[in-house]
């Protein structure tokens, strides 16, 4: 008569049956401990879009749009900034200048290089005084030389400075003239001169310049850009 099987024999038989049927053991189905199961967790992360399936250098963010090459120099950066910031102006490479000035002001006196060496300067700002508008006529009407604190501001610099997206400085027909004495008398003299120079907009004292400068622009006058 065969002997009865002990407890250890039953455990051995059960293990064989589990292996043959492919039934997982309780240890294989338990959650991995800290530091374990890296390969399984890594595969799941890759399916959701982990670092391993992104282009190098994106660090989990959308890559910046490439800057189209239209001019082959710094003007490409400026044109791209106008496009990406949605500034309503149609520009080409030939619209930017490194040399335009007026009869009384050199390019360097009007524009101070900031982020890029190119400037956008509209004809009305640089018009000769016999046109009866523009910077030259303003200076003549004032009766003494004036220092230009700011004229053209490209969109990159204007955004950093907290300027309005459609600031006339970005269109190249505005100038901020220094109030050397910071006095109301000098500011009022410049205001009167800007009126005589047919400025379309003269910033009031409550504006950003306050008594430090006078902002004037010729936004409504006809005229374009030249290199």
Write out the DSSP string of 72-92.
Answer: SSTHHHHHHHHHHTT------
Beta bridge partners of 178: 213
Q: Give the whole-angstrom CA distance, residue 163 versus residue 194.
A: 22
| Percentages of the chain per state (helix, strand, coil), in multiples of 5 | 40, 10, 55
Q: Tell me, what DSSP letter sits at residue 117?
A: S
- How would you list the strands of the sheet with 213-217, edge to edge? 148-150, 174-178, 213-217, 201-202
Please provide the average confidence, as pLDDT, over all residues in the chain.
Answer: 79
Task: Identify the residue whose tokens are 């046109």.
Answer: 131
- The predicted-structure confidence for 60-101, as pLDDT tens digits, reads as follows 333 467 899 999 999 999 999 999 999 999 999 999 999 999
Q: What are 141-162's pLDDT values in tens digits?
A: 999 999 999 999 999 888 888 8
Domain count, the chain: 1
Nearest in space to 227 (alpha carbons), one of 71, 68, 87:
71
Residue 227: inside a domain = no
What does the alpha-carbon distance between residue 162 and residue 165 come to, in Å, rounded to a whole number?
9
**176 assigned to some structural domain:** yes
Q: Which of 22-31, 36-45, 155-164, 195-204 has the lowest mean pLDDT?
A: 36-45
Residue 129 lies in a domain: yes
The answer to whether position 34 is within a domain reads no
Is pLDDT of 20 > 90?
A: no
Q: What angle do CA 106, 111, 116 make, to 5 degrees?
A: 130
User: What is d(CA 169, CA 217) in angstroms, rounded to the nearest whole number?
Assistant: 8
CATH number for 188: 3.30.1380.10
With tokens 């009407």, the residue in question is 141
| DSSP codes, 42-63 | HHHHHHH--GGGS-TT-TTSPP
The per-residue pLDDT for range 104-121, each reduced to its tens digit, is 999 999 998 777 899 999
Q: Which residue has the higher pLDDT, 203 or 8?
A: 203
Helix (H, G, I), strand (E, B) or coil at 144: coil
Structure token pair of residue 24 = 């997982």
HSE (CB half, 13 Å, CA atoms) of 224?
A: 9
Q: Is residue 20 part of a domain?
A: no
The answer to whether residue 55 sits within a structural domain is no
pTM for the full predicted model: 0.70
Task: Say if residues 131 and 51 touch (Cβ distance below 8 Å).
Answer: no
Any domain includes 13: no
Give the structural domain span for 133.
Answer: 75-217
Tell whether 194 is covered by a domain: yes
């Amino acid at each position: 008569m065969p002997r009865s099987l002990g407890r250890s024999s039953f455990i051995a038989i059960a293990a064989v049956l589990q292996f043959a049927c492919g039934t997982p053991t309780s240890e294989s189905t338990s959650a991995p401990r800290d530091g374990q199961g890296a390969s399984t967790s890594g595969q799941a992360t890759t399916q959701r879009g982990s670092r391993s399936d992104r282009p190098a250098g994106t660090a989990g963010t959308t890559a910046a749009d490439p800057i189209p090459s239209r001019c082959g120099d710094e003007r490409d950066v400026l044109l791209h900034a106008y496009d990406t910031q949605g500034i309503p102006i149609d520009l080409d490479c030939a619209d930017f200048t490194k040399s335009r000035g007026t009869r009384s002001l050199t390019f360097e006196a009007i524009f101070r290089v900031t982020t890029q060496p190119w400037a956008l300067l509209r004809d009305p700002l640089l018009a000769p005084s016999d046109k009866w508008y523009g910077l030259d006529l303003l200076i003549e009407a004032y009766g003494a030389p004036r220092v230009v604190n700011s004229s053209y501001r490209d969109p990159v610099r204007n955004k950093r400075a907290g300027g309005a997206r459609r600031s006339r400085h970005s269109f190249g027909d505005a100038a901020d003239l220094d109030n050397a004495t910071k006095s109301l008398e000098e500011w009022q003299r410049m205001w009167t001169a800007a009126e005589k120079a047919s400025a379309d907009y003269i910033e009031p004292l409550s504006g950003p310049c306050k008594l430090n400068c006078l902002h004037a622009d010729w936004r409504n006058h006809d005229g374009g850009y030249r290199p």
